[in-house]
Amino acid sequence: MDDASDASSAKTPESANNGRRDVEVPMEVYKAVTVFSTLFAVVAVVVGFVLLDEATQRATAAPDEVNILLAAAGLGAIAAGAATYAFSTRFRAQGMGNPKDDAD
């Protein structure tokens, strides 16, 4: 590659963040997204584990006695909480850097 292609590729958001697509938002939006997404994620994971606990009768049920629908709902709630938290980490406030992008 030549220097011109290196300079143009360095300006793209994906190459600067190693493939990540961060969204830059105002600080107030960043705070709201961080607070509410974390709250939702924690509640969803806790509810998911409670549903799994109920579906397996505190892990004492025989395999044929497990409530499959309740167990699937619990796993879905855990996955929804994890996905919410993962996507909320894409937001950055204006002026925020990513420590991973800094040179050592």
Contact 43, 84 (CB under 8 A): no
Q: What pLDDT is stored for residue 102 in this prediction?
A: 59
pTM of the model: 0.71
Nearest Cα neighbor of 93 from 32, 6, 47 is: 32
Hey, what amino acid is at 44? Answer: A
CA atoms of 104 and 100, how far apart (whole Å)? 9
Give the three-class secondary structure for 77.
helix
* H or E stretch covering 92: strand 91-93
pLDDT digits (tens, 9 = 90+) for 37-94: 999 999 999 999 999 999 999 999 999 999 999 999 999 999 999 999 999 999 998 8
